[in-house]
Chain A
Amino acid sequence: MAGPATSEAIAAELATRPGHTNKRAMLVRWLVIAMSMAFLGALLAAPLAAVFATALHSGLTAYFQSFADPDTRAAIRLTLTTAAVVVPLNTIFGITAAWCIAKFEFRGKSMLITLIDLPLAVSPVVSGLIYVLLFGANGWFGAWLQEHEISIVYALPGIILATMFVTFPYVARELIPLMQQLGNDEEEAAITLGAGGWFTFFHVTLPRIRWGLVYGVILCNARAMGEFGAVSVVSGNIRGLTTTMPLHIEILYNEYNFVGAFAVASMLSMLAVVTLIIKTLVERSGYRRR
């Protein structure tokens, strides 16, 4: 028969055994969590809150008025145009590259994968610089372009090219591991049964890779709309003409127009939040990153 004293002793004994939380373990746990949260609070939460607080600092009217500025509108249009060209092109590239790399065995494949990932390792400033060296006034094609009155650098084509470079790997690196893991069996079955290549892609492959595709596309889009360094180098910063939203933020900020700068920044922050929400929903659907 166990009296109250002995059961207390047993409980104390149990608490020191592995798998049971004791006071010191609890202390460590809350210290680690507190340390993590303080770090994330200072680096993520505070800046994000500061964007909206500063944008709304002079009230809602001033906030919405800053979007009436024609230069701001032009910047939003330019960013949307750039993303509308870059994202579909890089999506097509990503699918094509993933099909070729995941479905077939050939020599030089790992080399090809490394080269596709290369833009992720290159500094954004270098990503812009290379296009200036290629298409700028003193560049390889500079003289020819001038003769034919085509402007690439300090114009829309340059912005599109630099954005394509920095977002180049996003869709491909999402789809390659996914398609490699899914294997060829179902596609081979479809082809053997007489389905055409396109039919097989749209009806067999695409439904199985759709979440990976969504994931890659939204991240590609977020980077395309938000790229600063590469675009800054090729754009020439001609106000209202070649300034994308991030570049326009810089101009307004340097003019001490904080409400205007943070109002544009708040739009891009909302884009980032929406991207994260879609990303989380895709992960909830069972899609796992590799």
Chain B
Amino acid sequence: MPLVELKNIRKSFKLGNQEVEILHGVNLSVKEGEFVAMMGPSGSGKSTTMNILGCLDKPTEGTYLLNGEDISMLESDQLATIRNKMIGFVFQGFNLLQKTSALENVELPLLYAGIERKERHDRAKESLIEMGLSDRIYHEPTQLSGGQQQRVAIARGIVNKAPILLADEPTGNLDSKTSDEIMSLFCRLNTEEGITIILVTHEQDVAKYAKRILHFKDGIITADKINKDRRPIQ
């Protein structure tokens, strides 16, 4: 059974009086432990697909099976619970809370999972150490470099032991050297911990790390290939 399955997903938005369809029937199946990169020009629908995968948005039509369960009709509070338990997010702009320590940022998903304080601390610390930030635990975002901030965000994404990590242009704000570091981290999480990673990127260099590459164009997937020349982990 695939971990994630999209069946004929359509999504339209209201623009003024007009309904504009962004996704014209996306079909996608991702198994546990996969590392998928979604590529395509802007407006091709990759980010919208990502939002639906992340339960941040609901499809207008079609079925979304997560772990075999149809979640396309759930209420927003139920989706919040699914996001909390099943999905970690990494964003282009890091999206860390300002004036808040790395530790507290990483604790956030655990807070909403209802985990008590002591355990939250311990698990958040563990995640930060795993991301190589043992000496940055109490630093605030402004005291961290871009790469460090993104690692805090990844620590936040994995702290709840969610099986899926979604990354939207995770290296968009980083230089190429730091990008490589971050991508290596993703690879490690994928191989060592079996976390399923789906990322959106427009950079060929970043996509090369993935095991599978999808191409989007005009709201549908136009190509779905195994990445043969995958970059080795550095």
- Co-complex (A, B): no
Interface of A toward B, CB cutoff 8 Å = none
